[in-house]
Structure 1
């Protein structure tokens, strides 16, 4: 079979957001593909069941079952704004339920199935009005300038009627969760006036008929998610500050009690680029996701009480969504052979792996940094190779993300390079997720300083083993990976080509321009910003550099790329800047397919030009 080609981007189908029907007999899920004609990602809702071929239900996202399983609520755009629709499962077309001016959020059914709650944007938007801000909380990557828009909670009757707004004010309400009796909704929010300066979050409750929000938790935990599971309110939060692992708590009276799991691992609730699943009840036990060794796995905690969590979905898999009902569990997971499949009690209900493509499988390796720290990595290469060859070091983002040994439908150039005789090295350096909290927080205030040898030592090892040719080394990375690409090329001349994407080059200017800049200054990079900034050492760079950046990136603003480009050009280092119109920080995950294809294509061309010797 042939190896993967970049055009296979348009054949990939990636499932997500699995929702198990209340009787446990079928799974609704989303399926995302890249449409070449419209140059847009397309997401549809499908249904899979044992013994049947998956079938398409509707175009949309966020499928959610009614308590009786007879209706599927989901989101579909109407005039550019997402609205909740209801699909009767006994036949018929979807019916629009909401008519929210700025759109609705993910539907959350009431326990009796008569109402749906959602969080949605509220306010007025005049794109031509001056933007007046008093706090740092005025923009967000992917959304841009927030203007006067805040997120609040609404309840709409399923049978029709007036939509009731439950919250209002200058704050953002998190995803709602119904109390078992259907009388209240809980949500997370920070109502403090200085919330842009002091990171916080509490759990609030509001009556389903409307009332002032009542605060349920105090400042000892930064609450970032809450779910009523049975008669228990389970909360995800950060204890002691915003830098460490996410943990699980329950509300007992007026205090939070931590649910000890016996794991030194980070709870993963699921977000773009950070796969996981929300906590749920399986029988009387708590099911949750946590990252272990780069993979997101599912665990069961008996009795929703402190104890030793048991891993129930593990191995070389990355879980990206789970749902429980009727004593069964459905989940989506990526494997070394597939970017994602839908499973029910461990049985695959789908087959989205490309059947006519031979994939190279990442292999785990452990390396030792000079200070004795063990760092894990993954090597992708043709195992039939016997001579030293070119090697690409790829650095993940975060830095609190992690590479995993599964098929990567985003970084397609990995497979193409392996087919061309390259070795791709993916290291999980200190600060990566899945190796304990001390490892997770090890680079605080010391970006580049404490972690650079975690990359250089593995390179030395692979050169010594005869795997990598020391004269044909290259480096790339995105976000933090873009930062580290700039950092390493300003501290060593051993790389023949560099491709930083979504970069950070100057932490000083980053602080005042990024939507998370103040957080970076106070917490992640607390300390000497100049000493941690690649721009401080740019006069030492000689590596030919290709910079790839989204034009509308508010996380790592495009000015970071402009600064690096200008500095290298002034010093006459071979450099090229590619900007992607409309691209947010996550455009390489969910942006225009043509941009994602071009991103991969540019990397391959730059490596061919500067490492393999072919003209660009």
Structure 2
């Protein structure tokens, strides 16, 4: 970890951690420590030596890989507090699970953290509460499937967060959690979050967040008592060039980024497909083969007549490279429409926004030129 003075100067290394640091989460209220997550080696079975080089991946749970993070086996993510003067580390939370995020209360006496479950399926998350040093941990709520953006109210009595109830559902809602009893409530029933940024007003009576509405993004302020929503900024509009064709729309060109083409293969190869796809398809693959195939774009690839550009991260674990490859192969073999696939080495599912600068420039330049009609 490096500390950089805000008024300029050289960065100073803090400590010499032997762990693989993952995320800097928060300064302690007194400014003396930093809350951070780190990976520590973990043996998955009796033959899995943590000190070995080029270890095989021993998989006993799902998801065993995550887009942008790689394999989730052979290590666990722990929660640390690091003293910024001495560099000393204190383990606050550790075990056979991964800590996803955490936050100290405003007075530093309590610690809220989100962790995965143990067992063979670990995609669900639970919210835990502990003393500021990690002691006396207790489960605060297990009523949500996913949790993100935990934020303490100024008085330390409530946590605001984004979360989903049903596993596989990607629509995150705004929730408030009572610290005293762990009860959950939604202050604004119809509000769908965009991302996980939540900011409390200093008086504690409202929060500001980003919301999604009808395909747009907007900044909103929510009264936590009444649920009244005030829209501050309607955000940006995203438009595409279309022309009418009877009752439908015709795309002159198609630009596809990280697609889901084959629902059956996606359910077994995506880092989240094993639980997200059964949710979206309303059934497991073995129980709904016909529905999976009918709703897979690959089933209709022979009808494609539109020049198609596929943009894909090589290491995308959410919508794996094989999805684009299946479509490309079908287009090359069965369609006369021009097709092109561009694969970005090391790129994840979020390469368009967080990939290397050169990849992001290339991605957006190719997409804009393709949609304008430039083929070379």
State the TM bucket, normalised to the shorter chain: 0.7 to 0.9
Asked if 1:525 is matched to 2:272, the reply is no
The question of whether the paired residues in 2 share the 8 Å contact of 1:554 and 1:584 is answered with yes
What is the TM-score with the length of structure 2 in the denominator? 0.82
Asked if 1:144 is matched to 2:62, the reply is no
Give SS of 1:565's match.
helix
Asked if 1:231 is matched to 2:148, the reply is no
Which residue in 1 is equivalent to 2:212?
A: 291
User: How many residues matched?
Assistant: 354
Give SS of 1:549's match.
strand
Give SS of 2:100's match.
coil
* Displacement after TM superposition at 1:542 (Å): 2.9
- Provide the rounded CA distance (Å) in 1 between the counterparts of 2:144 and 2:253: 47
Which residue in 1 is equivalent to 2:16?
A: 99
Residue 185 of structure 1, aligned match among 111, 118, 126: 111
Equivalent residues in 2 for 1:179-578 (5 A)? 179-196=105-122, 199-211=123-135, 213-219=137-143, 222-229=146-153, 230-238=155-163, 240-242=165-167, 243=169, 244-251=171-178, 253-261=180-188, 264-270=190-196, 277-289=197-209, 290-293=211-214, 294-301=216-223, 304-311=224-231, 313-315=232-234, 317=235, 379=239, 393=240, 424=241, 459-460=243-244, 494-527=250-283, 528-573=291-336, 574-578=338-342
- Provide the rounded CA distance (Å) in 2 between the counterparts of 1:203 and 1:169: 15
* Displacement after TM superposition at 1:193 (Å): 1.6
Q: Which runs of 5+ in 1 are unaligned?
A: 1-82, 271-276, 319-361, 363-377, 380-392, 394-423, 426-458, 465-469, 471-491
The question of whether the paired residues in 2 share the 8 Å contact of 1:172 and 1:189 is answered with yes
The question of whether the paired residues in 1 share the 8 Å contact of 2:2 and 2:14 is answered with yes
- Provide the rounded CA distance (Å) in 1 between the counterparts of 2:55 and 2:324: 29
Give SS of 1:598's match.
helix
- Provide the rounded CA distance (Å) in 1 between the counterparts of 2:56 and 2:174: 41
The question of whether the paired residues in 2 share the 8 Å contact of 1:259 and 1:305 is answered with no
* Displacement after TM superposition at 1:178 (Å): 1.3
The question of whether the paired residues in 1 share the 8 Å contact of 2:269 and 2:320 is answered with yes
The question of whether the paired residues in 1 share the 8 Å contact of 2:105 and 2:152 is answered with yes
* Displacement after TM superposition at 1:127 (Å): 6.7
* Displacement after TM superposition at 1:168 (Å): 1.4
Distance 1:533 1:597, change over 3 A: same
Distance 1:194 1:236, change over 3 A: farther
The question of whether the paired residues in 2 share the 8 Å contact of 1:155 and 1:165 is answered with yes
- Provide the rounded CA distance (Å) in 2 between the counterparts of 1:117 and 1:297: 28
- RMSD of Structure 2 on Structure 1 (CA): 3.1
Residue 361 of structure 2, aligned match among 578, 592, 597: 597
Asked if 1:167 is matched to 2:85, the reply is no
Name which structure has the greater RCO, CA cutoff 8 Å, separation 6+.
Answer: 1
- Provide the rounded CA distance (Å) in 2 between the counterparts of 1:550 and 1:185: 37
The question of whether the paired residues in 1 share the 8 Å contact of 2:97 and 2:115 is answered with yes
The question of whether the paired residues in 1 share the 8 Å contact of 2:161 and 2:198 is answered with no
What is the TM-score with the length of structure 1 in the denominator? 0.52
Which range moved further: 599-608 or 243-252?
A: 599-608
Give SS of 1:255's match.
coil
- Provide the rounded CA distance (Å) in 2 between the counterparts of 1:219 and 1:607: 44
* Displacement after TM superposition at 1:587 (Å): 1.3
* Displacement after TM superposition at 1:130 (Å): 1.0
Which residue in 1 is equivalent to 2:45?
A: none
Q: Which runs of 5+ in 2 are unaligned?
A: 42-49, 284-290
- Provide the rounded CA distance (Å) in 2 between the counterparts of 1:105 and 1:84: 12
* Displacement after TM superposition at 1:239 (Å): 5.6
